Amino acid sequence: MNRFKSILSKVCILTMPLGTALVMGAPKDAQAQEIILPPPPPDAYLATVAPEYFEGRPVYFYNGSWYYRDARGWNYYRNEPPFLRDRRGRWLDRDRRYHYHR
């Protein structure tokens, strides 16, 4: 009986640091993250602007981002594709020429 208690106490002593490490390293309670997406272009804006076409769908440059619509609703490109970046530069030049040389 004493041998059993001796083995049991050694097992407890050896596994205690492992249990402590698991408890200390456990992740904290999950917290919800609220992701705020920029608002999509309003209907009045869409009615007055000609879209650019990219990946087979119309896209609109609004508030510094390119927006497109799919089956789930409005989305935007978080990273501006090179093609659209080039097109945006042409749009700004065209708008500037039209505005200043009327």
Report which residue type is found at 20.
T
pLDDT above 90 coverage of the chain, percent = 27
For 77: left if phi > 0, alpha if psi spans -120 to 50, otherwise beta; the answer is beta
Closest CA to 78 of 86, 67, 92: 67
CA dist 64 and 29 (Å) reads: 36
Burial (0-12, 13-18, 19+ Cβ within 10 Å), 31: exposed
CA dist 49 and 46 (Å) reads: 5
**Does residue 4 have a pLDDT over 90?**
no
pLDDT digits (tens, 9 = 90+) for 35-57: 777 888 999 988 888 899 999 99
